[in-house]
């Protein structure tokens, strides 16, 4: 069988290098979790990585109305005069927002299960940027006797 010349692909010396193709650096993802006492945890690494300013600790917390479960939470910065504001509080080496009542109302059994959220910047509009916390919806049972170090 004769192959037509225009069907032959020739290699170059560049093709002969054993370097792997360069991959763009992966965007760092941050996760947060709900503590056993109903606090949304913000470890120091997350605070620094997302440039969360602890001197501006007030946030509105919301979600999209759904029939079952919560897919995402939204944290939008506000000020202390906002009657719907929750405050970021120093806990150990990090910070947290106490949301026990909110988590109970939306059906998170945080005392028996661990819940985690991927957190990323969210453009709320009108020049306001907050955070979107997307749940993986996979609650894992808490280990027996596990204590939340961030609540000490």
18, part of any domain: no
Q: What share of the chain is helix, strand, coil (3-state, %, to 5)?
A: 15, 35, 50
Write out pLDDT tens, residues 138-148.
666 776 654 44
Contact by Cβ (8 Å): 60, 108: no
Does 95 map to a domain?
Answer: yes
Q: What's the whole-model pTM score?
A: 0.71
Residue 130's domain comprises 27-142
Residue 22 placed within a domain: no
Question: Which phi and psi angles does 123 have, rounded to 5°?
Answer: -85, 105
- Local structure of 37: helix, strand or coil: coil
What's the confidence (pLDDT) of residue 28? 75
Q: Is 13 among the domain residues? A: no
Tokens (6 digits) for 74? 């939204």
Asked if the structure places residue 5 within a domain, the reply is no
Tell whether 19 is covered by a domain. no
Q: What's the structural domain count of the chain?
A: 1
The answer to whether residue 99 sits within a structural domain is: yes
Q: What is the pLDDT of residues 79-96, one digit of tens each?
A: 999 999 999 999 989 999
Structural domain contains residue 17: no
Kindly tell me the burial class for residue 107, based on how many C-beta atoms sit within 10 Å of its own C-beta (0-12, 13-18, 19 or more): exposed
């Amino acid at each position: 069988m004769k192959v037509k010349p225009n069907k032959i692909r020739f290699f170059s010396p560049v093709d002969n290098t054993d370097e792997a193709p360069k991959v763009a650096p992966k965007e760092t993802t941050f996760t947060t979790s709900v503590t056993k006492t109903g606090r949304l945890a913000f470890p120091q690494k997350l605070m620094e990585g997302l440039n969360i300013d602890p001197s501006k600790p007030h946030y509105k917390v919301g979600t999209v109305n759904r029939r079952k479960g919560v897919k995402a939470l939204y944290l939008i910065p506000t000020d202390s005069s906002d009657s719907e504001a929750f405050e970021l509080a120093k806990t150990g080496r990090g910070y947290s927002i106490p949301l026990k009542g909110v988590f109970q109302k939306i059906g998170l059994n945080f005392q028996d299960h661990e819940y985690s959220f991927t957190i990323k910047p969210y453009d709320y509009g009108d020049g306001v940027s907050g955070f979107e916390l997307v749940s993986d919806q996979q609650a894992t049972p808490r280990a027996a006797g596990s204590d939340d170090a961030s609540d000490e």
